[in-house]
Copies of this chain bind each other. A is one copy, B any other.
Amino acid sequence: SASQDLDLEILEAVMGQLDANRIRENLRELSKEPHLATSPRDEVLVQLLLRRWQDPESGLDSAGTSEYEVLLSFPSQKQPNRVDVVGPAGGILFSSQRSEENLTGEQGDPNVVPPYAAYAPPGTPQGLLVYANRGSEEDFMELYQQGIKLQDSIVLTRYGGVGRRAKAVNAAKYGVAGVLVYTDPADINDGRSLPNETFPYSWGLPPSGVERGSYFEYFGDPLTPYLPANPSSFRLDSDNASGFPPIPTQPIGFKDAEVLLCNLQGASAPAAWQGALGCDYKLGPGFRSDGIFPAGSQVNVSVYNRLELRNSSNVLGIIRGAVEPDRYVLYGNHRDSWVHGAVDPSSGTAVLLELSRVLGTLLKKGTWRPRRSIVFASWGAEEFGLIGSTEFTEESFSKLQERAVAYINVDISVFANATLRAQGTPPVQSVIFSAAKQIRAPGPSSLSIYDNWIRYSNRSSPVYGLVPSLGTLGAGSDYAPFIHFLGISSMDIAYTYDRSKTSARIYPTYHTAFDTFDYVDKFVDPGFSSHQAVAQTVGSVLLRLSDSLFLPLNVSDYSETLRSLLQAAQQDLGGLLEQHNISLGPLVTAVEKFEEAATVLGQHVSALQKGTPDPLQVRMLNDQLMLLERTFLNSRAFPEERYYSHVLWAPRTGSVATFPGLSNACSKAMNTGPGSAAWAEVQRQLSILVVALEGAAATLRPVADL
């Protein structure tokens, strides 16, 4: 009926039926073999997902695939990428490992892709080696100031600090010819680096482990920005495509990095640049004469990566809503991995499959059909740059813009088994909290997931007091096109670390051939209780969004965010702006208008909830809640940022933690004179923001207000 609401018994039943062991078995199957995007095994998994979602007893109403022809990057099979030390006479004195050591059998699978930097251009630069820390702008500036010759050099950088491609971009500005990237044990293993201290003896990264990754700057298929990569679509020439690293780049393991780094000559690197390889890190250029390489030895980086157009599939499944089939709650994860990908992404896919099984079974039994439609998605080619999800949003732009309630992403479902970690925009905070309060946390305590979470990560909210911290959404997984390009309220959910126990950048075998089923089963989540907890949390959020009569999106939680961004602007930019005769007054007014409209709307919701509201009244209200996020989009706000249109969550490069457009524009204008184009841009950004907030407030006010 039109008043169909969330059924707590169904919710309990779903919570009870989500089975840790079935998740474990899903994971075993999913991670049995490497399933790099578009590989034969990736296609096998497409069929597996389709079969599950079309199962007559536990499947969805319908499921299908959609294929895109996208530009990926692979190492050459004939000419392996290599890193060599070349002696003064031209002889090869040392070569890096071409593949990771076969420690557990899986690493020997012929389908393991050798380590490479996807989208790094081919080339065979050779030069003296320089150590450049993380390859940030500041790092290169430091080397420059120390007088280290960077022109025509090869630089060795470590993962972390800045994005993958940024290291190569920053290097190229100084004439560097090639870039190596390695993972320092200080950053990933809490300092441990010995074989018997690392996998398969612990969760640590083995010395031969190499983090693969995409070095493409943007997301989506590189050749079809803003257009779905259908076979007939217009494509850029790959020469005209932008966002690739400018110079050859290759990742290596810390075992190889140690040989290179511990033999460098020159001044000691700054203290902050030192790592855990057991030697004093020098800057170079070149090797010390008392080391293992003769003076004048150079490093040669040979990269033979090739760009290839490949067919990548998304798998989509749907449960039709009983009452409002035109409202979609989307829930997705990527399917492709770099190697076996047990953690990334199969831990998420294992949860996705278990949740679709439980809901599908209720559906097929006739016990339940949600109020709104639920769309399940298995994205292709995420590892190359969120490609499958981005192409989907390009293809389905209008439909999603009109009808999507929210997007739930679960990529890696379990990084570690300490606590829930959630990221999202403010309207989803309340529904995640509601779900988290209702479920028991895994482990010996009898705390709820919520009460456990608040112990690990919390903040003081002016409205609610102490609450768990909801993180913000960057562009780390497939939620990015949903929130940034389409303005759909989105979230990303996982279980994660106790940060007091490890300072690892990420789980140690990330994007390596050691991210296997046994790794998860033995070290990440033995017993799979954290996987189950994520399944329950996501299941509860999903049901609440799809079944509640009133959408559980608390738009007034945006007020708190806006107020805090405003305060940062006032405190940290107010004086500077005043000096340039730019007033924050209109922004203050806009935030106040938003707060007031949100408060009044909240009262309206409460009043409606007490009565027996007309179905159309509920629908109208829900439309206001659903579409609020859309009002923050402005496709002209950031012309240089591909896809980013959300004026609150676009990337911030400015140092002040306020509205990104304002922060970035101020940081660019700061050192220019009055009347510069940069100061005009500050004013433009301020106006864009004010118009967006005023427009957002207007959509929250009573609908027949002028």
Task: List residues of chain A with CB under 8 Å of any chain B CB.
Answer: 2, 61-64, 226-228, 230, 232-234, 316-318, 320-321, 323-326, 373, 375, 394-399, 402-403, 583, 585-586, 614-616, 619-620, 623-624, 627, 630-631, 635-636, 680, 683-684, 686-688, 690-691, 694-696, 698-699, 703-704, 706
Contact = CB atoms under 8 A, between A and B. Distances in A.
Contact of A63 (B63, B317, B684, B706): B706
Contacts of A623: 326, 402
Contact of A2 (B227, B232, B616): B616
Contacts of A616: 2, 323-324, 615-616, 619
A238 to B, nearest CB: 13
Contacts of A396: 695, 698
The 3 A-B pairs of least Cβ separation, nearest first, read: A326-B703, A320-B704, A234-B687
A321, A375, A615, A703, most chain B CB atoms within 10 A: A703
Contact of A683 (B234, B320, B403, B585): B234
A698 B399 contact: yes
A680 B219 CA distance: 22
Contacts of A232: 583, 585-586, 687, 690
Nearest to A585: B232
A695 B61 contact: no
Contacts of A687: 227, 232-234
A373 B326 CA distance: 23
A380 to B, nearest CB: 16
A695 B395 contact: yes
A623 B624 CA distance: 14
28 contacts: A2-B616, A226-B636, A232-B583, A232-B687, A233-B687, A233-B691, A234-B683, A234-B687, A320-B704, A321-B704, A323-B616, A324-B616, A325-B620, A325-B704, A326-B704, A373-B704, A395-B691, A396-B695, A396-B698, A398-B627, A398-B630, A398-B696, A398-B699, A399-B698, A399-B699, A402-B627, A615-B615, A615-B616
Nearest to A698: B399
A228 B585 CA distance: 17
A624 B325 CA distance: 13
Contact of A706 (B316, B583, B690): B316
A233 to B, nearest CB: 5
A635 B638 CA distance: 13
A398 B701 CA distance: 13
B320 A61 contact: no
A635 B630 CA distance: 15
Given A232-B687, A234-B680, A318-B706, 5 more contacts: A64-B706, A227-B687, A373-B703, A398-B631, A402-B699
A64 B631 CA distance: 24
A614 B614 CA distance: 12
Contacts of A373: 703-704
Nearest to A695: B398
Contact of A684 (B64, B234, B397, B698): B234
A620 B398 contact: no
Nearest to A325: B704
Contacts of A398: 627, 630-631, 695-696, 698-699
A212 B438 CA distance: 71
Contacts of A620: 324-326
Contacts of A706: 62-64, 316-318, 375
B688 A227 contact: yes
A513 B215 CA distance: 67
Contact of A619 (B586, B619, B680): B619
B399 A704 contact: no
A528 to B, nearest CB: 31
A397 B394 CA distance: 21
Given A583-B232, A704-B373, A694 B395 contact: yes
Given A324-B616, A706-B62, A691 B2 contact: no
A683 B585 CA distance: 47
Contacts of A228: 691
Contacts of A397: 695
A703 B404 CA distance: 12
Contacts of A614: 2
A397 B375 CA distance: 29
A230 B683 CA distance: 13
Contacts of A696: 398
A234 B619 CA distance: 37
A661 to B, nearest CB: 12
A309 to B, nearest CB: 16
A401 to B, nearest CB: 8
A558 to B, nearest CB: 14
Contacts of A686: 234
Nearest to A321: B704
Contacts of A698: 396, 398-399
A230 to B, nearest CB: 8
A63, A316, A323, A706 — most chain B CB neighbours (10 Å):
A706
A399 B373 CA distance: 25
A374 to B, nearest CB: 10
Contacts of A2: 614-616
A318 B234 contact: no
A78 B661 CA distance: 45
A399 B695 contact: yes
Contacts of A624: 326
Nearest to A683: B234
A56 to B, nearest CB: 18
A324 B318 CA distance: 29
Contacts of A704: 61, 318, 320-321, 325-326, 373
A388 to B, nearest CB: 15
Contacts of A61: 704
A322 to B, nearest CB: 10
Residue of A2, A64, A398, A683 with most chain B CB atoms under a 10 A cut-off: A398
A606 to B, nearest CB: 19
Nearest to A587: B232
A316 B705 CA distance: 11
Contacts of A631: 398
A587 to B, nearest CB: 9
A403 B703 contact: yes
A502 B323 CA distance: 58
A704 B695 CA distance: 30
A627 B630 CA distance: 15
Nearest to A677: B240
